[in-house]
Copies of this chain bind each other. A is one copy, B any other.
Amino acid sequence: MGQKVVVIGGVACGPKAAARLRRKDPEAQITIIERGPFVSYAGCGIPYYIGGVVEELEGLMKTSHGTLRDVLYFDKVKNVKVMARTEAAAIDRANKTVKTKNLDTGEEAEVPYDKLVMATGGAPVMPPFPGMDLEGVFTLRRPTDAEALRAKIEAGEADRVCIVGAGRIGLEVAEGLANQACDATIVDIAPQVLFGLLDPDMALVVENALRAENVVLHLGEGVKSIEGEDGKVTKVVTDKREIETDAVLVAVGVRPEVALAKAAGLEIGETGAILVDEYLVTSDPDIYAGGDCAENNNLVTGKKCWIPLGSTANRHGRIIANNIMGEKAKFPGVVGTGILRTLGVNVASTGITATKARELGFDPVYGLAPSGDKSHFYPGGKNILIKLVADAKSRKLLGIQVVGPGDVVRRVDTVAAVLTFGGTVDDLAEMDLAYSPPFGTAIEAVAHAANIVRNRIDGIAEVMTQKEFREFLETKLDALILDVRSAHEVENIPAPADGRCQNVALGDLRSRISDLPSDKETVILCALGQRSYEAVLALKGAGFNKVRYVEGGLNVFTRSASE
């Protein structure tokens, strides 16, 4: 008989560790203990099930060619025993057993192990609002929660849904609700969507896209209670308003499931997740931990972090299996990559934001680069806006945020690779990235952003931040403010500063350049900062020396405090 390996948790890391171990060791006796009825499912697909894009919940539990990864599959195909609907109640580390209890029958058992894998995952944070127990209040802890919410929607009983939490899950579900023709209102106590993932200026682009799709956002508002009638939810009460609703989805965050580990005396890290070393071994050498219950090294900050992701969980599972086999496989760490789709825009980021970089004592310099995801002369291109952040002193790349309807994933993966190797903004700028008109621009969008950052570090960027522009408006009353948008655009979105702004469309600039005072301090505006940058170059070419443009343009200006 081979070694006894027990895995607690059957969603991502656990089944991966089991399958990998089976591949390497035909003799091992492998048992997965899972609280729920399902095993090895794609939890990240749940928002798409709610939206009806994924038709059947079972789809999330199948292999890519349609085999259901259920208990029987693990038994017959993988020769892995799955104890479903079974709780791991306690770990006896001295005797190396796990005490289990079947949640349906109440049956208790003791399962012995040589090696134990903690893959207990994460769980939604349950905020202490009054009314959390009302009918029509949902969290997305398990696939069955999603089934219940979708059933309510499809029964026509949830035309209005209030989402508490403007994080990743909230925004993904908002898209799903739109697909189902439900009205969505999102409330969050944070002043922006995707707090932590995006800086405020980039979050604004997402907020504008959501509002354009009729999602109602109440940001910077704390929920006080959820109220109902006859046991059914009727409204969400915030510190500013009451929101009438048919259903509430509470998605205010997740936390690592560490109660069992804690009770067993395993060390918990500073992030609140289970402490592991680079081999994913816990403070007990016979116990591994991986997936959403374990913490990671952050390769960008050099600190421990807790970033629960299905992709990381899968990598953890493979490494744990290799190490159980006696290898010394190291998990290097993560760089903090995240991606999501919401109404009208894709959002991706990796590394750290400028805000976070400042908190950690870096000297962040960034560039905002609006780009197309095809060459401008090739039809069908979609826009993206990149914010690339680097450290001014070391020139090391710190992170990227990409938002827009276009191809964001390519850019974030490229930068994730550079961050993995501790590369600089110069490395990124000089990189040999793919170019052909249907796929991008000759100077790839991330390289363009890197060049902007380099110009700024080197002090030759003719750029003004949004904050500087606000100060400029207040203090430089004599300066020339030039709006190079078309007359049509100006009509739709008027320039700020009460008529002090002079409108000369970029196309007319050359012919009108001699009418402009070349000795005045000049700032140029457009919608996104791209045309105004061109205008700066034109004016400098014509002898204007004190000329800058406003980064991010008027699209970003509408936010009151963008930094």
Contacts and interface: CB of A to CB of B under 8 A. Distances in A.
Nearest to A296: B432
Given A42-B375, A54-B377, A537-B23, A311 B420 contact: no
Interface string A425-449: 0010111111111111011100100
A416 interface: yes
Contacts of A346: 438-439
Nearest to A511: B76
Nearest to A59: B377
Given A350-B432, A432-B350, A439-B409, A510 B76 contact: yes
Interface string A310-337: 1111110011000000000001111111
A376 B433 CA distance: 28
Contacts of A64: 372, 376, 530
Contacts of A436: 44, 172, 339-341
Contact of A311 (B311, B315, B435, B540): B435
A472 to B, nearest CB: 22
A413 interface: yes
Interface bin, chain A: 35 or more
B434 A338 contact: yes
A418 interface: yes
Nearest to A66: B507
B432 A377 contact: no
Given A413-B433, A433-B413, A541 B338 contact: no
Contacts of A537: 19, 22-23, 77-78
Contacts of A502: none
A497 interface: no
A558 interface: no
Contacts of A23: 460, 537, 540
A378 B334 contact: no
A64 B62 CA distance: 45
B311 A443 contact: yes
Given A42-B437, A436-B341, A531-B65, A311 B376 contact: no
A318 B451 contact: yes
Nearest to A455: B23
Interface string A47-89: 0100001100001101111110000000011110000000000
Given A53-B378, A530-B65, A534-B63, A434 B409 contact: yes
Interface of A: 12, 19, 22-24, 26, 42, 44-45, 48, 53-54, 59-60, 62-67, 76-79, 172, 299, 309-315, 318-319, 331-341, 346, 348, 350, 372, 375-379, 407, 409-410, 412-414, 416-418, 420-421, 423, 427, 429-440, 442-444, 447, 451, 460, 506-507, 510, 530-531, 534, 537-538, 540-542, 545
28 contacts: A12-B442, A23-B537, A42-B437, A42-B442, A44-B435, A44-B442, A45-B377, A45-B437, A54-B379, A65-B530, A67-B507, A76-B510, A76-B538, A79-B542, A310-B435, A310-B442, A314-B443, A315-B443, A332-B430, A333-B432, A335-B432, A337-B434, A340-B436, A341-B436, A413-B434, A413-B444, A414-B416, A416-B431
